[in-house]
Structure 1
Amino acid sequence: MFRYISLPVISLMLAGPALGQGGPSAVGVETVDVRRLAETVPIFAEVVTGRDGEVATRVSGSVSVVDAVEGNTVSEGDPLVTIDPELLSILLRRAEAEVSVAEAGLGVARARADTSRVAFDRVAGLQGTSAFSGGRFDDAQGELLEAERLIAEAEARLAVARAAEAEAAYNLERATVSAPFDGVVLEVLVNPGEFIQSGAPVVRLLDTTTLEIEASVPARFIDLMEPGLAVDATTETGEQFEVAVRALLPIETAATRTRPVRFAAPDLAEARTTAVGQSVTVMIPVDAPRDLLTVPKDALVQAQGGWTVFVVEDGAAQPRTVEIGLAVGDRFEVVSGLTDGDVVVVRGNERLRPGQEVAPVTAGLGPGPGGTAESPEASN
């Protein structure tokens, strides 16, 4: 990344033509600026998922169809396994018939109650006359109460029959085990013709839409890990992306004094090669953000005794010895030697001489303010 002044010049794409003509050398430049950053350390983490488990059948029966195939991607509601529905259909028809019987019984009980009520009203209407009989009144009243009790009993029988009908319909509807969420079939646990009991697992399904990253963060850094905090992450293959703190789990490992932190990583679901258990490195802040004066890494040239940067002043490149601190992405913290707003050479600085005239060309402003920082040793 850094170049030595004594290295031979291989490419003259920027300054070559100008040197050949004796004019100012064309060089790429950027500006020294102040950015609000926090020092970070790398923490090893891994990809995890919120849902990974066995999908079970809710009914007993013989497996008739297995639609699930290991490795296939399924959507919520897709059929995985089907239990033979014939017996379940028979049980539903029987339950429906029992409902009809119970409804008929309730009708008979209500008709009897109507008859008993008419008889009771007739006897009660004779009160105060010579035709009134206390014995007949008591008998009629008893028959009416019995008829009303039989109605309540018939209504209860009908409720039981309807519940059995609903259960039979429920079981028949769930003869097909469907995917409860989008995911990938990891394992098929049953075969056609196999008899299984209710609650038996039939498929292991992995949810690939809820992938997250979990890191064991030293407890002394937990106070800096607020939900929503964005940090940088890198996979073993070099893919870089941003993740955000989702949750701090209230568990601490006594042996390591670390706590699990979950990071939301929406970009993971779109990566074709992402796998649960995959290693990831996340950059964890170890102090509060502060304003740092930074210089592009490409501006640094190794010289005897330290680092040199060419600053453009009055159309000429003047070398300055600088002291650098933390690495900040593609920039370094400036401890001394530069000031905010200095224009420094980042392309073509390998072959410059002190005081040489240059023609500055903006090389790009790089990322905007904000980010994380790490030590220079870690960046190298």
Structure 2
Amino acid sequence: MNTILKYTILFIISIKMAFTQQATLIEVDKIKFEELNQTVSLIGNIISKKNTKVMSAVSGKIDKLFVEEGDMVKKGQALLNIDYNNYNWLYQIANSNLIKAESVYENSKVETLINTLDLNRMSALKNSSVFNVSKYEKLENNNKILKSKEIISLAELNISKNKQNIAKLNLQKSRVKANFTGFIDRKFVEAGEVVPIGQVLFELVSIEKLEVFAEIPSYRARILEIGQSIKFKTSDNIFYEGKIRSIGAKENSKTRTTKIYIDFNQEKKLRKILINENINLLIPVSQGEKSLTIHKDAILKREGISLAYIVIDNKVQIRPLKLGEAVGNRFIVYDGVKNNEIAVTKGNERLRPGQLVNIKNKENE
């Protein structure tokens, strides 16, 4: 009797052990809809709103350089002279020609006036015996000639004025000045060189007006709006906040990206910001939309296919998934699972479809 009881107990224990060996211990997480308020980090750059190549507006020899590469300059500060004396002399000549043209015009007006007075006096004597027809006709014809000369001298005066304006403008252009306050990023010429019109002389960059530039995936740019607040951080984890100034209307067909520009408060000078410095833009994933998500630890990759084990009645089923982007420690899932289903997150590497399981963290069911 004792022997039979012993064997019965051993049989029950072996059955329990066999059951325990078949039911694999796992951890799970619920598949659920979540409001996607998370952000993704994308690389951007600090750029200057004002970055220009200073070019020569006149041709000639560079007389003198006033700045070197790396110098800070103020708006209107002289950078170099191009044949300054030559253009100054041309301006003086234009001034003299203008004075000459003014004098010629004044003389022509006086001559016309004198002739007109004589003509009027002679015309008043038409009914008199002293009236001279020949002299009258001569004065009349001379009046026409003098008026024509007056018109010509006035035209010459206008030409001289315009030549003086051009000479003055060229004199001003011969002294190249900074368009705005900034620093000389690059210098392309030296004193003594002869430059044509349009020669690049300097690259001038403003450090007062900066903005963030980035090329982000077009599908992320579609949910952004002009004026929307965007945070970004520097490489040493200093946070700034700005507003979107512009969103590109054109997609780069090669990279599938779109340009965005972000203004930010430069008065918040936590440290010196460098032009072309890399920053991390924190771009929102969506505008408060809800999506079905699955924990990233539930995902298995088999021959390029995303799979997950789903627990139903303490047994697992394997499902192929159609995943979206990662959001924190979860993936958006478009197909393969349903809301509130239970996915295996730990112990799923050695599971087989239909296998019995014991859930360790039942609070996540």
TM class, shorter-length: 0.5 to 0.7
Residue 180 of structure 1 deviates from its aligned partner by 0.6
CA contact (8 A) 1:229 1:244 kept: yes
Residue in 2 that maps onto 1:88:
87
CA contact (8 A) 1:234 1:240 kept: yes
Residue in 2 that maps onto 1:58:
57
Residue 185 of structure 1 deviates from its aligned partner by 0.9
Residue in 2 that maps onto 1:375:
none
> Counterparts in 2 of 1:250-265, with a 5 A limit?
250-265=249-264
Residue in 1 that maps onto 2:106:
107
Aligned partner of 2:116: which letter? R
Q: Secondary structure at the match of 2:191?
A: coil
For residues 37 and 73 of structure 1, do their structure 2 counterparts lie closer, same or farther at Cα, with a shift above 3 Å needed? farther
Distance in structure 1 (CA, Å) of the matches to 2:60 and 2:219: 55
Q: Secondary structure at the match of 2:40?
A: strand
CA contact (8 A) 1:81 1:202 kept: no
> Counterparts in 2 of 1:75-224, with a 5 A limit?
75-129=74-128, 132=131, 136-224=135-223
Residue 160 of structure 1 deviates from its aligned partner by 1.4
Residue in 2 that maps onto 1:44:
43
Q: Secondary structure at the match of 1:251?
A: strand
CA deviation profile, 1:138-188 (whole Å, cap 9, x unmatched)? 433222122111111111111211222222222223332111112121111
CA deviation profile, 1:14-34 (whole Å, cap 9, x unmatched)? xxxxxxxxxxxxxxxxxxxxx
CA deviation profile, 1:309-328 (whole Å, cap 9, x unmatched)? xxxxxxxxxxxxxxxxx87x
Residue in 2 that maps onto 1:272:
272
Q: Which runs of 5+ in 1 are unaligned?
A: 1-35, 292-325, 328-380
Q: Secondary structure at the match of 2:81?
A: strand
Aligned partner of 2:52: which letter? G
Residue 128 of structure 1 deviates from its aligned partner by 4.3
Q: Secondary structure at the match of 1:104?
A: helix
For residues 53 and 225 of structure 1, do their structure 2 counterparts lie closer, same or farther at Cα, with a shift above 3 Å needed? same
Q: Secondary structure at the match of 2:230?
A: strand
Alignment length, in residue pairs?
260
Residue in 2 that maps onto 1:31:
none
Residue in 1 that maps onto 2:241:
242
CA contact (8 A) 2:231 2:282 kept: yes
The normalised TM-score by structure 1 is: 0.61
Quote the RMSD (CA, aligned, Å). Answer: 2.9
Distance in structure 2 (CA, Å) of the matches to 1:59 and 1:115: 46
CA deviation profile, 1:27-76 (whole Å, cap 9, x unmatched)? xxxxxxxxx99332222222222232321222333222212211222221
Residue 89 of structure 1 deviates from its aligned partner by 2.3
Residue 263 of structure 1 deviates from its aligned partner by 0.6
Q: Which runs of 5+ in 2 are unaligned?
A: 1-34, 291-326, 329-365
Distance in structure 2 (CA, Å) of the matches to 1:207 and 1:163: 35
CA contact (8 A) 1:56 1:202 kept: yes
Residue 233 of structure 1 deviates from its aligned partner by 0.5
CA deviation profile, 1:258-300 (whole Å, cap 9, x unmatched)? 2211111333995435122x32221112322489xxxxxxxxx
CA contact (8 A) 1:39 1:289 kept: no
CA deviation profile, 1:60-109 (whole Å, cap 9, x unmatched)? 33222212211222221222112342222221221121112112211221
Residue in 2 that maps onto 1:9:
none
For residues 216 and 89 of structure 1, do their structure 2 counterparts lie closer, same or farther at Cα, with a shift above 3 Å needed? closer
> Counterparts in 2 of 1:347-358, with a 5 A limit?
none
Residue 129 of structure 1 deviates from its aligned partner by 4.6
Aligned partner of 1:157: which letter? E
The normalised TM-score by structure 2 is: 0.63
Residue 131 of structure 1 deviates from its aligned partner by 5.0
Q: Secondary structure at the match of 2:57?
A: coil
Distance in structure 2 (CA, Å) of the matches to 1:72 and 1:268: 23
Distance in structure 2 (CA, Å) of the matches to 1:137 and 1:289: 98
Aligned partner of 1:156: which letter? A
CA contact (8 A) 1:232 1:243 kept: yes
Distance in structure 1 (CA, Å) of the matches to 2:67 and 2:268: 21
**Larger Cα-atom Rg:** 2
Distance in structure 1 (CA, Å) of the matches to 2:219 and 2:278: 23
Q: Secondary structure at the match of 1:76?
A: coil
CA contact (8 A) 1:210 1:269 kept: no
Aligned partner of 2:104: which letter? G
Identity of counterpart residues, as a percentage?
Answer: 20
Distance in structure 2 (CA, Å) of the matches to 1:142 and 1:244: 77
For residues 37 and 183 of structure 1, do their structure 2 counterparts lie closer, same or farther at Cα, with a shift above 3 Å needed? farther
CA contact (8 A) 2:241 2:265 kept: no
CA contact (8 A) 1:213 1:262 kept: yes
